Structure 1
Amino acid sequence: MRKFVPEFKGLLRSHMIELPRAIRDASGIIIFGKRLKSFVFSTDVAIIRNTNADAVIAVYPFTPQPRITEALLLASDVPVFCGVGGSITTGKRIINLALDAEFKGAMGVVVNSSTPNEVIQQMRETIDIPIIVTVVSEYEDIEGRINSGTTILNVSGAKRTAHIVRKIREKYPEFPIMATGGPTEESIKETIEAGANAISYTPPFTGEILNEIMVAHRKRYKLQENEEQQ
C-alpha cells in the first residue's frame, strides 16, 4: 500500500512534463547518495527546467562542446549526465571532455556504443564520476565494457530494449542498467520487469507542446466566434 505524499505545484509551474508513473516501480541507481530512477533525455533547457525527472541525460548528435555542457549544468536543478562523444569524437578528446564535465559539476558522462574499451579504461583512470556506456545489442562485448571501467550500461535498442536488458541481466544480475522505456506505461513496465534499474524518457519537443497549446487557443476563439454568430 502506497503512503500518501503531499504535493505542491504552484500556479506558474503546474504546467510541466511529468514522467510516466510506471518509472516509480524501478529500483533506481544510487549515485553519490542520490537514488535516481528517471532520466529525461533532452538538451532543451526549457524542458530540463520544467520536468519532474530525477536527472538529465544530455546527449546530442554533434561534437560535444564545453560551452554546451556548462549551459546545461547551469540550467538544471537536478543531476546532469553529459554526452562526451564516442563516434565522431574519440580518443584523448573524449577523456579531456569527460574531465572538463566533471570539473564543471556533471554527475556522470555518457559515451556511445562505438567507444573502444581502451578509451573507457583511460577515462576510468582519469575521472571519478560514473561512466555510462550505451548498448544497442546483447551481442556486444558486455564483459569487456564492465572490465574496462563502465559504471552503468545504458540500453537503447528501440523495440528490442526489454529483450536486451533481460539477456544482460541473466548474466549480470547486479550490474547497474538503465534503459529507454518507450512511450507507454506498458513498455516501461516491461523494461523494468526485464531488469532495468532506471528509465530514460524522451519528452515531446517544445514545438509539439506549443502546438497543443495553440490548438486549444484556436478552439476557444472559434467557439466564441460561433456564439457571436448565433
Structure 2
Amino acid sequence: MAKYVPEIKGILKRHTIQLPEVIREASGIRIFGKRLKSFVFTTDVAVIKNTNADAVIAVYPFTPQPIITHSIILSADIPVFCGVGGGIAPGKRVVNLALDAEFKGVMGVVVNSNTTNEVIRDIRDTIDIPIIVTIISEYENVKERIESGATIINVSGADKTNKIVRQIRSEYPTFPIIATGGITDESIRETIKAGANAITFTPPTASEILSEIMDRFREKYERDRHRQDKSEN
C-alpha cells in the first residue's frame, strides 16, 4: 500500500517547474546522507529557485568562472554540482576551480568528457567531494575514468544514452550513474531500466515559460473582448 504524502504549496511557490514524477522510480544516489534522484540541468538562477528537483547540475559552454559558481550557490536551496571545465582549460586551472568550488560549498564537481585521466587524478588528490565525469560515447574507456578517480559517471549520449548506460551497468553493477532521460515519461523510465540511478532533466527556459504565460494572457484578453462585444450588441 502506497504511503500518503501530505503536500504543502505556498502562493508564491505555486508556479514552479515540476520535474516528471516518473523520476521518483529511480533508486537515487546517496551523497553525504542526501538521496538524490533528479538533477535539473541549468545555470538560470530563476529556474533554480523555482524547481522541485533534488539537485542542480550546472554546466555551461564557457570557461568556468568562480563568480558564476558563487551566484548559483547563493540562489540555490538544493545541492549544487557545478562544471569546472577540463577540456580547453589547463589542468592546473581545472584543479584550482574544483578546489574553489568545494570551498564555496558545492556538493560535487563535473568535468567534461575530454578531461584527461591525469587531471581527474589530480582533482581526486585535491578535493574531498564527488567528481562527476561525463561520458558521451560508447567508445570511451569507462574503466580508466573510474580508476582515475571518478565518483559518479554522467551519461549524456543523445540517442545512444540507454545503450551506454546498459553497457556501463553490465560491467559495474553498483557504480553510481546519472543519465539524461529525455522529456517523456517513457524515455525516462527506459533510462532508469537501463541502469541509471538518477536522471538529469533539462527544463524549459525562462523565456519559453514566459512566452506561454503571455499567450494565455492574450487569449484571455481576446475572450474578454469578445464577451464585451456580445454584451454591447
Which of the five TM-score ranges fits, normalised by the shorter chain? Answer: over 0.9
Alpha-carbon distance in structure 2 between the residues aligned to 1:77 and 1:20: 20
Structure 1 gap segments, 5+ residues each: none
1:100-179 → structure 2 map (5 Å cutoff): 100-179=100-179
- One-letter amino acid of the structure 2 residue matched with residue 140 of structure 1: E
Q: What is the RMSD of the two structures over their aligned residues, measured on CA atoms?
A: 0.7
Report deviation, 1:160: 1.3
Residues 48, 56 of structure 2: 8 Å contact kept:
yes
Report deviation, 1:138: 2.0
Q: Helix, strand or coil: the match of 1:85?
A: coil
Residues 43, 60 of structure 1: 8 Å contact kept:
yes
Structure 2 gap segments, 5+ residues each: none
Residues 85-134 of structure 1 deviation map (CA, whole Å, 9 limit, x = unaligned): 02122310000000000000000000010000000000000000000000
Residues 153, 176 of structure 1: 8 Å contact kept:
yes
Alpha-carbon distance in structure 2 between the residues aligned to 1:119 and 1:226: 65
Alpha-carbon distance in structure 2 between the residues aligned to 1:12 and 1:52: 14
Alpha-carbon distance in structure 2 between the residues aligned to 1:160 and 1:3: 36
Alpha-carbon distance in structure 1 between the residues aligned to 2:229 and 2:7: 44
* Alignment correspondent of 1:192: 192
Residues 37, 197 of structure 1: 8 Å contact kept:
yes
Alpha-carbon distance in structure 1 between the residues aligned to 2:90 and 2:175: 26
Alpha-carbon distance in structure 1 between the residues aligned to 2:90 and 2:17: 34
Alpha-carbon distance in structure 2 between the residues aligned to 1:47 and 1:141: 34
1:13-162 → structure 2 map (5 Å cutoff): 13-162=13-162
Residues 4-45 of structure 1 deviation map (CA, whole Å, 9 limit, x = unaligned): 100001111110000001100000001001000000000000
Q: Helix, strand or coil: the match of 2:87?
A: coil
Alpha-carbon distance in structure 2 between the residues aligned to 1:103 and 1:10: 33
1:177-216 → structure 2 map (5 Å cutoff): 177-216=177-216
Report deviation, 1:2: 2.0
Alpha-carbon distance in structure 1 between the residues aligned to 2:90 and 2:111: 10
The TM-score with structure 2 as length reference comes to 0.97
Residues 86, 119 of structure 2: 8 Å contact kept:
no
Please say which of residues 82-91 and 125-134 is displaced more in the overlay: 82-91
- One-letter amino acid of the structure 2 residue matched with residue 19 of structure 1: L
Q: Helix, strand or coil: the match of 1:12?
A: coil
Alpha-carbon distance in structure 2 between the residues aligned to 1:32 and 1:228: 60
Residues 169, 195 of structure 2: 8 Å contact kept:
yes
Report deviation, 1:63: 0.3
Q: Helix, strand or coil: the match of 2:43?
A: coil
Alpha-carbon distance in structure 2 between the residues aligned to 1:12 and 1:93: 40
Report deviation, 1:139: 1.4
Residues 182, 201 of structure 2: 8 Å contact kept:
yes
